[in-house]
Amino acid sequence: MTLVLDALTVSPRGGPSLFPPVSMTIAGGEMAAVMGPSGVGKSTLLDAVAGHLAHGFAMQGRVVLGGREVTHLPPEARRIGLMFQDAVLFPHLSVGDNLAFGLARRVRGRAARRAAVEAALDQAGLSGMAARDPATLSGGQRARAALMRTLLAEPQALLLDEPFSKLDAELRDEMRAFTRDHVARLGIPALLVTHDPDDARIAGGAVVTLRAA
C-alpha cells in the first residue's frame, strides 16, 4: 500500500496557494515527515489528504492510495486514519469501549469485536484494562490507547499531526517507537506533521519542508 501525493497544494478559495505543490511517494511501512514554519499549511495539507479540507479551502493535485485515486472521494471512503496532538479518549466510555468505537465495521459479532479489542489492548501493554476509566490511565497508556483506537479502524494510511508534542521527553521517545513499530507491522504508509527535527529523523522516511509560496 503506497500513498502518493502528486503536486498537492491548497489555497483559500480565490487566493494563492499556501505552499508550492508537494509531490511525494510513501511506501507501505514507511513514515515520512512534513515540517515547516507555523501557519504554512502543514495541518491543512493533512486535511486535504484525508479529505477533510475546511470550507473555504480548495485543493489542487492528486492523492493516490494503493494505486487508487482518492482525490475526489469523501473521507470515509479513503480509509485514512488521523491522529492529532490532542487525541483524547472519550471520558465517558471505558478504555475498551473507546477502542471498540474505532473498530472497523467489518468486524462483526460481540465475541469477534471483544477479541479484536483485547488483542489491541495486549499490543498496547494494556491487558486487562478494558473496564478502566480513561482518567485512571497514565499519559503513555492513554496515548497508546488512542493510537490503537485509530488503528482498529484498519486504515490504509495514517496521518499524524504533531502527535507527540504534548508528551514529556521519555514518553515521546516511547510513543515514537511504538508508532513506528505499528506502522511497520501493518505495512501502511504514514505521514507525520511535526516541528521537532527529532520526530522527523526518527520517523526514518522522507522529510518534506513546506515554505510559504
Give the nearest distance from C-beta 162 to ligand ATP in angstroms.
Answer: 7
Q: Tell me which of 14, 38, 106, 168 binds ligand ATP, using CB under 6 A.
A: 38
Closer residue to ligand ATP in complex, CB, 40/186 = 40
Q: How many helices (H) and strands (E) does the chain have?
A: 7, 9
- Is 43 a binder of ligand ATP (CB under 6 A)? yes
H-type alpha helices, 51-159: 75-78, 95-102, 110-123, 139-152
Closer residue to ligand ATP in complex, CB, 151/193 = 193
**What residue has cell string 476509566?**
133
- Is 41 a binder of ligand ATP (CB under 6 A)? yes
Give the nearest distance from C-beta 145 to ligand ATP in angstroms.
Answer: 24
Q: Which residues in 173-202 contact ligand ATP (CB under 6 A)?
A: none
Number of shown-chain residues binding ligand ATP (CB under 6 A):
11
- Is 20 a binder of ligand ATP (CB under 6 A)? no
Window contacting ligand ATP (CB under 6 A); options: 20-28, 36-44, 71-79, 197-205: 36-44
Q: Which residues in 47-106 contact ligand ATP (CB under 6 A)?
A: 54, 56
Contact 95, 121 (CB under 8 A): yes
Nearest to 60 by CA among 4, 99, 21: 21
Query: 203 vs 27, 133, 178, 200, CA distance in Å?
Result: 13, 31, 11, 5
For residue 101, how far is the Cα from the chain centroid? 16
> Rounded to whole angstroms, how far apart are CA atoms 144 and 140?
6
- Is 213 a binder of ligand ATP (CB under 6 A)? no
- Count Cα neighbours of 23 within 13 Å in the Cβ-side half-sphere: 3
- Is 39 a binder of ligand ATP (CB under 6 A)? yes
What residue ranges bind ligand ATP (CB under 6 A)?
18, 36, 38-44, 54, 56
